[in-house]
A and B are shown apart, each in its own frame.
Chain A
Amino acid sequence: MVTSQHKRPLRRRAKAGAGGLAVVALIGVPLSTFGSVQAASASTQVCSDAGTHYVVSNKQGIHLPSGIDWKSGPGGTVTSSIESTQTTSLSVSMSGSFSTGAIVAQAEVTFGVDASVSQSIGSTYTYSHPVTAGKYGHVQFGNWGWAMNVRKYEVSSSTCTITSDTYGTVNRMPSANSWGFRYWETAS
Chain B
Amino acid sequence: MLRLAVIGLASLALTGCAEGVDQPREVSTPSPAQVRVELDAELSAATVLLKTQASEALVNALPRPTVVVPDGENRLVTMIIHDADNSDWPAGRYRLTAVCAGFGSIVANFGIGAYGEVKELAPCTNAGSVDYVEIELPTTATGLTVVLVPAGDSRAAVGYTIQKI
Contacts and interface: CB of A to CB of B under 8 A. Distances in A.
Nearest to A122: B71
Contact of A182 (B68, B71, B81, B85): B85
Interface in A111-156: 117, 119-122, 125-130, 132, 144
6 contacts: A119-B73, A130-B58, A177-B79, A180-B82, A180-B84, A183-B85
Which 9 residue pairs are nearest across A and B when measured between Cβ atoms?
A: A183-B85, A180-B82, A126-B62, A180-B83, A181-B83, A119-B71, A178-B80, A128-B60, A125-B64
B91 interface: no
B59 interface: yes
Contacts of A181: 61, 83-84
Nearest to A87: B71
B102 interface: no
B120 to A, nearest CB: 18
A121 B79 contact: yes
Given A117-B70, A121-B79, A125-B64, 11 more contacts: A122-B71, A126-B61, A127-B61, A129-B58, A130-B58, A178-B80, A179-B79, A180-B80, A181-B83, A183-B144, A184-B86
Nearest to B62: A126
Contacts of A127: 59-62, 83
B125 interface: no
A125 B160 CA distance: 12
A176 B87 CA distance: 27
A63 interface: yes
Contacts of B81: 179-180
B118 to A, nearest CB: 16
Contacts of A63: 84
B7 interface: no
Contacts of A184: 85-86
B80 A177 contact: yes
A185 B87 contact: yes
B72 interface: yes
A129 B59 contact: yes
B62 A179 contact: no
B6 interface: no
Contact of B87 (A87, A132, A178): A132
Interface in A158-188: 176-185
Given A119-B71, A181-B61, A129 B79 contact: no
Contacts of B70: 117, 119-122
Interface string A23-66: 00000000000000000000000000000000000000001000
A183 B87 contact: yes
Interface in B100-133: none
B82 A178 contact: yes
